[in-house]
Structure 1
């Protein structure tokens, strides 16, 4: 078991999907969670109360428009001002849009690049100085198998996730001489989350297929094990990377995708 008692973890996009699963795993391990993401007031209250139930955890919600770089920096500073430090930063927030390039809306391109890629730069820029002062830090960027390989009709998402992997490598080199601070990217294959459910609908439209056909012939066709990656599998890997024993994992892009990128 990884013990994160006393650690402060900011997890973007942690009100649903992979981010929420990671938040639950980290709360169970004793971390205090800074929650960020979309949702109604009732949904956010429910998430915060559930996370606060673990080991006396005092989870708190921090709203921020991560498509705005200054807002992303402010988010990190608010977490530090409230809790006194930041030990773990997990850049998980993301959106998707599926469309061929000539019909891809320019505003959707800009939004995907801003949220999926640029926000990780701004939050990391703000967090690293605090981690240097405390002598401990883990930055985990939730990339994607699409950060390692491409698929058609996902130009913005693939570009952003490749950028996340490149950013992780560069920042990893900058932090390489720090005793216990490192940054890595986790690259999941398809995880059944609300984001993937939206992709299934979009793919069905693009390919003129039923959603069941998309799952079988498009989505899981890429994953040799023919099943979705689970949220728990991704959360377990994220938790493992926060152990002191994983200090030598740095600047890595770690695939968890049933063998997809082994082809």
Structure 2
């Protein structure tokens, strides 16, 4: 590039943002000295053509943006198994290792998502208190947690959630051993499959006791003690995608999960104002757990794509580590129904809900 003499006219401030004209000297700064270079006509023409293609023709710019959007959507459609923020945090956010040393109380830890989450948090180094009704299964989960991580401390607190009189006693058992509860995971639940008109009040009450009133009771007791210790409690609630979308033959179950969303979304807002509690509500889709029955039959009959409890637990652990407010966890294409239900509810209810596999093939079976 040819350097011009300093006696040539300098480029004004208003002309520096314009495209260089052919053969016109352009101001460049080098080592605190102002020098002038002459831009090649070929380079100037190439830059001008590029700018014209992108900004001179709106249709070309729109086509480029649409191509990028479609490409991103196709990649997300193939690989994503959670909402976009959670997928991003699983790659670039805090790992579950930040939970090392935290005291985590998990209900429903004897099987399914609770069992897999126990293993995930044990590998992260958390101190665990595991609750459930199957004491034998809880012992097996405890042994496996200790085998995975030798330094992990695990205690068992077996009890029936529907027995509200024992909630405070079980909390004291955890506090007597660890002295505190940092994270409470309300995972236990009961599924109810029945046509709406076939439910009785007793059926409704039994499901609501386990799915709603029991976790609310445990959370209140634990939160009161955390406030006395001036500690910030993190509450994790395992809801369901039916809380947002509903489902044929599971009206009571969907109602209980919607109630959880209302309870704990309000508690989250209260916690952000007072600084006393963080709340994470998890909305998993179809997961291969004993709650749904025989896994192999379900694979063939109803749910054509179901997530493993291990993968679901990994994503929940990421949500806990990053204190996510809501987490949508589901394989595509069912994951897209979350977005349709959230942003296009009328279209979802009219055209999409009836096509979901569990709504097309659900049967009226008596809940035992």
For normalisation by structure 1, the TM-score amounts to 0.82
Distance in 2 between the 1:65 and 1:102 partners?
28
State the 4+ residue runs in structure 1 displaced beyond 6 angstroms: none
Structure number with greater Rg is 2
Instruction: State the distance in 2 between where 1:113 and 1:192 align.
Output: 23
Q: 5 Å matches for 1:63-82?
A: 63-82=158-177
Partner of 1:160: 256
2:327 pairs with 1:254: yes
Q: TM-score, normalised by structure 2?
A: 0.60
Aligned-residue offset at 1:212? 6.0
**2: CA distance between counterparts of 1:196 and 1:117?**
19
Residues in 1 aligned to 2:272 and 2:206: alpha-carbon distance in whole angstroms: 31
Distance change >3 Å, CA 37–CA 148, structure 1 → 2: same
Q: 1:106 to 1:213 in 2, by over 3 A?
A: farther
Q: 2:267 aligns with which of 151, 171, 174?
A: 171
Deviation at 1:83, TM superposition (A): 1.3
1:44 equivalent in structure 2: 138
Please state how far the C-alpha of 1:262 moved relative to its aligned partner: 2.1
Return the offset for 1:139: 0.6
Q: Give the corresponding residue for 1:196.
A: 292
Structure 2: segments with no counterpart, 5+ residues:
1-94, 341-368
CA deviation profile, 1:213-253 (whole Å, cap 9, x unmatched): 632xxx34xxxxxx21222332223222333xx35x4xx33
Displacement after TM superposition at 1:178 (Å): 4.6
CA contact under 8 A between 1:28 and 1:55: conserved in structure 2? Answer: no
Which of 126, 136, 140 aligns to 2:221? It is: 126
> Could you tell me which of 106, 110, 113 is aligned with 1:11?
106
Q: CA RMSD in A?
A: 2.3
Q: CA deviation at 1:134?
A: 4.7
C-alpha deviation, 1:182, in angstroms? 0.3
1:20-59 alignment runs, 5 A limit:
20-39=115-134, 41-53=135-147, 54-59=149-154
8 A Cα contact 2:268 2:277, kept in partner: no
Q: How many residues end up aligned between the 2 structures?
A: 239
User: Aligned partners of 1:16, 1:71: CA distance in 2, in Å?
Assistant: 22
Kindly indicate whether the alpha-carbon contact (under 8 Å) linking 1:142 and 1:186 is maintained by their aligned counterparts in 2: yes
Does structure 2 retain, via aligned residues, the 8 Å contact 1:11–1:90?
A: yes
Query: Aligned to 1:73, what secondary structure does the other structure show?
Result: helix
